[in-house]
Structure 1
């Protein structure tokens, strides 16, 4: 990625999916209009299944736990979000040579791979697939949206996630896909907040930001932090 200025990062704790989507929409419009700079929203969600644009509802094979379902304007198939999972929604303006969707996806993967390495996890990619894998299991999923070359939606990385919820779906529409988590691999307690601190540093390094600004957990505070 070309050199960039400051990245504002807000750790929002546990936030309802619908509220997070509304915040994303507001921040996306503000970034497109130039009222804010590049921003990363980091959080956890209560239990929810999300379907991307054109995703097949048949990939929700059962829903005995009555998890809410949302269809949204990201790419990709079905995924699960829930407690113990780090969600990252980068709202970035892609400019110049960085107006390349594939390059953006690969950079997201690299940032997660680098963060996982800090916890002793040897993660990588799988050919012709998006996301991050550890051996034969998937640890992180990506589903993005881009409007006027400004990104939204993002990634979900399993830290201490209850993986049994993935049994109700075909994750990312990949038959036979099995999920894993940081805690399952390392066999130790790792909090989402702890991992988020490492993730924001890896993200800033891969995306070539020269400064991280930590913002408050509300839209007005985020707006103020960028100008």
Structure 2
């Protein structure tokens, strides 16, 4: 099984520092499969190596006025936004324990979220050509990962009750013709701690099933 570290509400920078520490811990500790890091962060836009310059659609001045930071990170994917009310999970896993297949790894992460939403009576699924989890034409969970020496970092961002107006500052995941949604927008309220418990339960079911 994996260990679980819950950072609660913190800054993005502190979350990244912790993730780096956990990466070294998992890389050098062959007795564990990995660690799930849970956190929420203050509003921040993250851009990846493949992000386009036009994916942030407001000026730095407006971002400052809204209290939104903008940080470049070393994960896959495009531009996304994090904020309070969004469940971030960084699975820092030794993929030698789970199969050295990045495509299957991403599909399993999507399956974990799809199963959670099914338990909440939310019909969700995948969308051709795009990574993540969708409800209709709106994305509810963004994903982006980084892998080094077969240990994963970064992961998923599931919109629970985040202020969706924050996404007006970006083209989410670089997709111009789609929107974003949240569990709360779909009429369901769930405590973040319960959501974390559901994530761990479904992660163990999906990643450890025979």
TM range (shorter): over 0.9
Deviation above 4 Å: which 4+ runs of structure 1?
A: none
Instruction: Determine if the alignment matches structure 1 residue 78 to structure 2 residue 79.
Output: yes
Cα deviation code 1:27-75 (max 9, x no counterpart): 1112111266210001111100001123223200015224101101000
CA drift at 1:155: 0.3
CA drift at 1:183: 0.8
The two structures, once aligned, show a CA RMSD in angstroms of 1.6
CA drift at 1:193: 1.8
Tell me: CA distance 1:13–1:209, structure 2 relative to 1, closer, same or farther (3 Å): farther
- Equivalent runs, 1:1-227 vs 2, <5 Å: 6-34=1-29, 37=32, 38-63=34-59, 64=62, 65-95=66-96, 98-185=99-186, 187-208=187-208
Q: Does the CA-based 8 Å contact 2:7-2:15 persist in structure 1?
A: no
In structure 2, runs of 5+ residues without a counterpart are: none
Q: Does the CA-based 8 Å contact 1:30-1:36 persist in structure 2?
A: no
Equivalent position SS for 2:42: coil
Work out the number of aligned pairs and report it: 204
The answer to which structure, 1 or 2, has the higher relative contact order (CA under 8 A, 6+ apart) is 1
Tell me: CA distance 1:155–1:13, structure 2 relative to 1, closer, same or farther (3 Å): same
Q: Does the CA-based 8 Å contact 1:160-1:192 persist in structure 2?
A: no
